[in-house]
Chains A and B, each alone.
Chain A
Amino acid sequence: MSNRFKLPALPFDKNALEKGGISSETIDYHYGKHHAGYVRKLNAADADGKVPQNASIEQLVLTANGKIFNLAAQIYNHTFYWESMAPKSKGCRGNVCKALENEFGSCQEFVAQFKARAGGHFGSGWVWLSLNKQRKLVITDGHDAFNPMRDGLIPILTIDIWEHAYYVDQRNNRGAYINNFISLINWERVEQRYNDAVNRLKSNL
């Protein structure tokens, strides 16, 4: 038995997002079964000696492949996803807001493009807003356990578009779920991540 990897605590109560359209029932499944399940399976793989020693989740996302990558990335992605939301979103603010205006013309235009990517993605996957090495904000998406760190990007916001993220509350209506998510974005955290990312890039020069 291994308990090397831990399920991080939710940054809010399980019914905190109800008013925003994500029910506690969804959280029970999504966090309590899917996210927890990935942690359990990675620990099981670790007990079988299949996970490189001394590697953090983030290192596994960057360097592992196959089943181990899949499990580690899904753990990382879901943690990031919970942190991308907050019960009371205070709207786009600060440096990231200015950067989004520079990159997309306006925050609304960024939201429109992000929604289009999330709505247009075929199958399961994730859509991310990240900072690239040229300090530009970019939207990327990919299947299944996709994580943009593998492409040298620094992620600052993500949405899960696997069906399990929205099926309990919205059934097949992914569009309604995406709209709810936009209203729940934790812009304070996004601003923090953006500033950290900019500093990291500056210190790498």
Chain B
Amino acid sequence: FVSSYLKNLATKLIMSRLLKVVKQSVRTAPTNIETLSTIRQFSQSKSDFSLPDLPYDYAALEPVLPARIMELHHSKHHATYVNNLNATLQKRQDALQKGDIAAVIGFDGAIKFNGGGHVNHSIFWTNLAPPNNGGGGSPSGALLNAINDKFGSLEKFQESFNGKTAGVQGSGWGWLVYCPQDKTIKIQTMPNQDPIGSLGVVPLLGIDVWEHAYYLKYENRRPDYLKDIWQVVNWKNVEQRYADACK
């Protein structure tokens, strides 16, 4: 625990220093040689993405999501995406320095998969909250208006979302997204760990339908999992994401 805290602190220090350098270089002279070489030096250091802490205990989402699912999901599945992302980025960096472009391109799949897994799960944990403390109920304000406009009602939205998400073949996610091009919200599913941001939309709410997300409690009954998950959806978080996207 201490070593991961120190590692996180070190990463934060490096990143804040890097950010300062970048901001400085943009404010003053972007072609300042000393500044550019400093940036290059930082970007060559080991990429260090880290597993975010959950905003609640493993047991906090019971009875909907039992602790044994949450612990595996966070400390094993998500952690593995983070570790594999870091390892792949390091290998990619090594290949890039050797000028081995074929090898660099060869890492694209692993970066998309593990990086997507990291991004998706990081959003997911914030989209959920304990049933007695922020989870469930109904959205309000601008997001509720948008849902009613687009789908007719919250219930109709959930029915449509669940139908599409239950229909994902194999592993994937169901998403509520904001589409900046037509300024509307949409339901969109994605396969595997493909990051939905790559479609040019803003993710608001994601529900993981990989079997590991529900199997230990729901077995193959994905529709039952989708019926229950709404009891722990953190609408305040989704509203905030919507407000930020609309700016």
User: Do the beta carbons of A122 and B109 come within 8 Å of each other?
Assistant: yes
Select from chain A the residue with minimum beta-carbon distance to B80. A172
Which listed residue (A33, A70, A125, A167) contacts B212, Cβ 8 A?
A: A167
Stretch at the interface among B1-9, B11-19, B59-67, B213-221: B213-221
Asked if residues A122 and B193 are in contact (CB atoms below 8 Å), the reply is: yes
- A172 and B77 CA atoms in complex are apart in Å by 7
Q: Let me know if B216 and A167 touch, CB within 8 A.
A: yes
For the complex, what is the distance from the CA of A70 to the CA of B170, rounded to whole Å? Answer: 10
Which residues of B sit under 8 angstroms from A46, Cβ to Cβ?
Answer: none
How many angstroms between the C-alpha atoms of A143 and B212 in the bound complex?
17
Q: Are A123 and B193 in contact (CB under 8 A)?
A: yes
The interface residues of chain A lying within 8 Å CB-to-CB of B77 are 172
A58 to chain B, nearest CB (A): 21
B194 to chain A minimum Cβ distance, whole angstroms, is 10
Could you tell me if A167 and B211 are in contact, using CB atoms closer than 8 angstroms? Answer: yes
Contact across chains for A124 and B170 when beta carbons are under 8 A apart: yes
Complex interface bits, B70-109 against A, C-beta within 8 A gives 1, otherwise 0: 0010001100100000000000000000000000000001
Specify which chain B residues have a CB less than 8 angstroms from the CB of A87 in the assembled complex. Answer: none
B220 near A123 with CB under 8 A, answer no
Q: Is B139's CB within 8 Å of the partner chain A?
A: no
Which single residue of chain A is at the shortest CB-CB distance from B113?
A122
Contact indicator B76/A172 (Cβ below 8 Å): yes
Residues 196-238 (chain B) with a chain A CB within 8 angstroms: 210-212, 215-216, 219-220
Task: For A164, list chain B residues within 8 Å (CB).
Answer: 211, 215, 220
> Are B169 and A163 within 8 A (Cβ)?
no
Contact pick for B171, options A37, A123, A171, CB 8 Å:
A123
**B131 contacts the other chain (CB 8 A):** no
CA distance A167 to B68 in the complex (A): 12
- The number of residues on chain A lying at the interface, defined by a beta carbon within 8 Å of a beta carbon of chain B, is 19
**Contact between B212 and A123 (Cβ–Cβ < 8 Å)?**
no
Least CB distance from A165 to B in Å reads 9
Q: A123 and B216: CB pair below 8 A? A: no
- Contact partner of B76 among A124, A125, A168, A171, CB < 8 A? A171
Contacting pair A143 B170 (CB below 8 A): yes
Task: Give the distance to chain A from B109, nearest Cβ to Cβ, in Å.
Answer: 7
Residues of A within 8 A of B80 (CB): 172
Within 8 A of B (CB), among A123-163: 123-125, 143-145, 162-163
Q: Does B192 contact A (CB under 8 A)?
A: yes
Q: Which of A28-77 contact B (CB under 8 A)?
A: 29, 33-34, 37, 70
Q: Which residues of chain A have C-beta atoms less than 8 A from B76's C-beta? A: 171-172
**In the complex, B134 has a CB within 8 A of chain A:** no
Q: Which 9 A-B pairs have the closest CB atoms?
A: A124-B170, A163-B211, A144-B170, A123-B192, A123-B171, A122-B113, A124-B171, A172-B76, A144-B169
Chain B interface residues (CB < 8 Å from chain A): 72, 76-77, 80, 109, 113, 169-172, 191-193, 210-212, 215-216, 219-220
Q: List 24 A-B contacts (CB under 8 A).
A: A29-B219, A33-B220, A37-B220, A70-B169, A122-B109, A123-B113, A123-B170, A123-B171, A123-B172, A123-B193, A124-B211, A125-B170, A143-B169, A143-B192, A144-B170, A145-B169, A162-B170, A163-B215, A164-B215, A167-B212, A167-B215, A167-B216, A172-B77, A172-B212
